[in-house]
Structure 1
């Protein structure tokens, strides 16, 4: 009997081992903004953050073997949240810049563009460069490469810093702001939705600050960065990145 019980116990232990799930897949917190459409934005129908970078991070996670948990936050909070380990990854419309690379590491470039210029529709002047707005009050989003460049230019009487791009669009739309600068694809997408009918994107304007969006990770996370870049390279090669960009109205 003792031997029988021993065998039964061994079989039971093996059975428990067999049905026990494999080690749970790693869940990484990804910081994204709710107002950066089409890169990242809050879909009010689902109450979920969606967009180019969310789709891309989901595909990268599938390929690299980790799950993604999207954490919505203001753009200016992304890097502080990453460096303080509140999140593990930044996936937003964030340019890879030298100052940022001193604080965090970036993946290979994903998409390249410059700033767009919006003015009230009643203002029909053709603005080709920032010089055409010398001495004016303009606006840009806090924490972006654009707001710093505008301030350093010394061209404007004031550069108002806004929390979100829709905030800039609203002030231009109502005529409270002479002109606003922000990510060209985000401005174009917002205006196509028809929510700011009294604002226009200046077609002939040539951007000054051109950069590439990348995925951000903490310094020292070489293994994670390597996985992200390996998966990103694979997704670029098999056409997945282009499909995601096309889905959201961006050219690959």
Structure 2
């Protein structure tokens, strides 16, 4: 009798091990610690937070996968994706023809252009890059803005900065004549009050306007299909608007 019970228990245990357990797929998502409000390092929780983190988390919930956020510099995101270190890019990354040759993007999520940052002591109402001809300006390495600025041939130098806060600091202290970066990120940083001697030039009209999308590896067609389907659903049910509202941005057509 005891032997029978032991055999039955062993069979039950084997059946439990052998039975398929529907463990949720976990995908690694590359995000940056310096793109507030899109992505940033929350020092209270020591985790990456922001619009794009909220968005990919909600997409994952709808599409049936969990996300593991991997913090990294913006300029390393695409290389990390193509080398399989991460599965998805969810950051303030423009969908550009050059990037689309290397990775695939979801449908657009949010569109904007570059903002112009100058010291508060500079009260000139710049309207275009031409107004800064011959000056030393700065932009973040790896962004669409830095290459566009260099191609104009207008400036005596285009300094490449690792992060947007680095640009803000140099403009704030007067070490840099002007900086160009994602308008929403500049506006959010200035709103926090950490750079009181810098200002956004509201009269400036951006020359590089793009749309942010979620990046996946070439060939990950099934994942891209899931992301696009969930993104469309979240736009339709108002979830994306709520995410943008949470971080102080207005919903817009893209």
- The TM-score bracket by the shorter chain reads over 0.9
Alignment of 1:38-53 (within 5 A): 38-53=37-52
Structure 1 counterpart of 2:214: 215
Structure 1 counterpart of 2:11: 13
CA distance in 1, matches of 2:70, 2:227: 18
CA distance in 2, matches of 1:121, 1:249: 23
CA distance in 1, matches of 2:156, 2:75: 24
CA distance in 2, matches of 1:241, 1:13: 49
Count the aligned residue pairs.
Answer: 250
Alignment of 1:138-177 (within 5 A): 138-177=137-176
CA distance in 2, matches of 1:245, 1:17: 47
Q: Deviations over 1:160-214 (max 9, x none)?
A: 0000000000000000000000000000000000000000000110000000000
Alignment of 1:50-89 (within 5 A): 50-89=49-88
CA distance in 2, matches of 1:229, 1:180: 34
SS of the aligned residue for 2:234 comes to helix
Alignment of 1:1-252 (within 5 A): 5=4, 9-10=7-8, 13-14=11-12, 17=15, 22-252=21-251
CA distance in 2, matches of 1:75, 1:152: 21
Q: CA deviation at 1:9?
A: 3.4
CA distance in 1, matches of 2:9, 2:62: 36
Q: CA deviation at 1:24?
A: 1.5
CA distance in 2, matches of 1:17, 1:193: 57
Q: CA deviation at 1:12?
A: 5.5
CA distance in 2, matches of 1:97, 1:165: 20
Q: Deviations over 1:133-162 (max 9, x none)?
A: 000000000000000000001110100000
User: Which runs of 5 or more residues in structure 2 are unaligned?
Assistant: none
CA distance in 2, matches of 1:187, 1:17: 57
CA distance in 2, matches of 1:75, 1:131: 28
Q: CA deviation at 1:14?
A: 3.9
SS of the aligned residue for 2:80 comes to helix
RMSD (Å) for aligned C-alpha atoms: 1.7
SS of the aligned residue for 2:111 comes to strand
SS of the aligned residue for 1:140 comes to strand
User: Which runs of 5 or more residues in structure 1 are unaligned?
Assistant: none
Q: CA deviation at 1:18?
A: 5.7
CA distance in 2, matches of 1:13, 1:110: 52
Q: CA deviation at 1:11?
A: 6.2
Deviation >3 Å, runs of 4+: 7-21
